Amino acid sequence: MIKIGLLGLGTVGSGVYKIISENNIKIERKVGTEVKIEKILVNDKNKKRELNINKNLLTEHPADVVENPDINLVVELIGGENPAYKYVLTALKNKKSVVTANKLIIAKYGSEILKAAHQYNVQISFEGSVAGGIPIIRPLKESLVASEIENIYGILNGTTNYILTKMAEENREYADVLNEAQRLGYAERNPHSDISGLDAAYKIAILASIKFETLIDIISVYSEGIKNISLTDISLADELGYVVKLLAIAKKEEKGLDIRVHPAFISKSHPLALVNDVYNAVYLHGDIVGDIMSYGKGAGQMPTASAVVADIIQTAADINYNRSNIYSNESLQKQKIVDINEVNNLFYIRILVNDKPGVMAQVTKILGDNQVSLASVLQKNRLTPIVPLVLITHPVKEKHINKSIIELKNLDDVKSVESLVRVIDKF
């Protein structure tokens, strides 16, 4: 029999409890033996809960789970950094396999956690930590094992994707949609982690660690959020054949790993362009398999709980059959991350200039002097005395574009640089 200890009985925890209770027979058939939830750590045993749950299962003492000799499998669903990380390490040291959906501790302490799992000969699984219900981590580790993955492009944050989709579909401004998303519960009251790109940065770091078999220092992952994307940019993108998405990117380059999160224009005909609302997707290119994409709900109680339960079933079966995890790798090495300033990108630049002869010449001179060449120039809705200019560049290093922008801002006839968004045209 496999005895499970749950840490946390919040949204995802309740979902996991529900799925396991309701699918017990099916799960036991897959695992090959009985599976039982033995203990659940909660903050308050006497709190009123919607779940109909035996009070004897509940405990307020972490040791009843992570040091309980009866328990073989600990499922961490508290979230946040601590005490979650501490509990996970203690569980591993007590020779319990661990399943978690905690992207923060995996992105931040993945190395220590993998080492401990290896040292104590137990398993650690975290399918639920990235892209909720989309099976992505296991396929990355197992089905695609023969293919060298060269790059990963993800839409990994549901909140920002919902906001960008609504802006485009309903012609509404960012702040307006964000307010609504908060009211509907699609965005948190403090949405910083989502809209700043941080949440997506954790997730791409986890995907890249697995597939590139490397350790990513999360602090060195460049991330830029969506709060500067205006409705005007989204409409112009549409006119130019693009949609705007918050992309998480990880690419193997000669100089190291190019890993970053930022808004990007992508072609309407690319499969990622139809990933709308709270959906997530991961688009990969492998040397052997070519391009593949996985799409699905990236968050929410049941999709995440479903990923956690899939991990529980696999791990429980591995414990039952005394199998070791053939995909664990304790010897991960840190990899150099390419400085964002050295990365090449195409850019969309929108500036407002005075409607005077010679202004265009000044602008293009600055760009040319900084090695920025233009793929297209669009002059929009001339409103004398101010003219909006929309420029799309050829590939250029970020440091060169940044220097140009500073110089453009110093020109008397440039009223403002309204926006600067990367254009991803090759996947």
* Active site members: 203
Cis peptide before 385 (omega within 30 of 0): yes
Distance CA 264, CA 266 (A): 6
Contact predicate 201/248, CB 8 Å: yes
Q: Report how far residue 238's alpha carbon sits from residue 190's, in angstroms, rounded to the nearest whole number.
A: 30
Please state, in angstroms and as integers, the Cα–Cα distance from residue 241 to each residue in 227, 246, 344, 389, following that order: 22, 17, 21, 17
Q: Which amino acid is at 201?
A: A
Site string for a second copy, 147-186 (x = CB under 8 A): x---------------------------------------
Q: Do residues 106 and 113 touch, judged by C-beta distance below 8 A?
A: yes
Q: Indicate the residue among 8 and 132 with the shorter CB distance to a second copy.
A: 132
**Residue from 314, 335, 345, 419 binding a second copy (CB under 8 A):** 314
Q: How far is the CB of 305 from a second copy (least distance, A)?
A: 7
Specify the stretch interacting with a second copy by CB under 8 A; choose among 20-28, 70-78, 183-191, 344-352. Answer: 20-28
* Whole-number Å distance between alpha carbons of 176 and 194: 16
Determine the longest span between alpha carbons in the chain, in angstroms. 82
Q: How many C-beta atoms surround the C-beta of residue 89 within 10 A?
A: 18
- 420 contacts a second copy (rule: CB under 8 A): no
Return the residues of window 228-287 that contact a second copy according to CB under 8 A: 269-271, 273-276, 279, 286
**Taking CB under 8 A as the rule, does residue 332 contact a second copy?**
no
Q: Is 146 in the site for a second copy (CB under 8 A)?
A: yes
- Residue numbers 125-144 binding a second copy by CB under 8 A: 127, 132-135, 138-139, 142-144
CB atoms within 10 A of CB 241: 12
Q: How far apart are CA 217 and CA 208, in angstroms?
A: 11
Shortest Å, Cβ 272 to a second copy: 9
* One residue of 57, 215, 292, 352 binding a second copy per CB under 8 A: 292
- Distance, CA of 409 to chain centre: 33
CA distances to 281, 304, 401 from 92, rounded to whole Å, are 31, 22, 48
How big is the site for a second copy, counted in residues (CB under 8 A)? 55
Rule CB under 8 A: choose which of 324, 341, 376, 416 binds a second copy: 324
- Of 57, 231, 289, 411, the one binding a second copy (CB under 8 A) is 289
Chain residues that interact with a second copy, rule: CB under 8 A: 19, 23, 26-27, 30-32, 127, 132-135, 138-139, 142-147, 269-271, 273-276, 279, 286, 288-297, 300, 302-303, 305-307, 309-310, 313-314, 317, 321, 323-324, 326-327
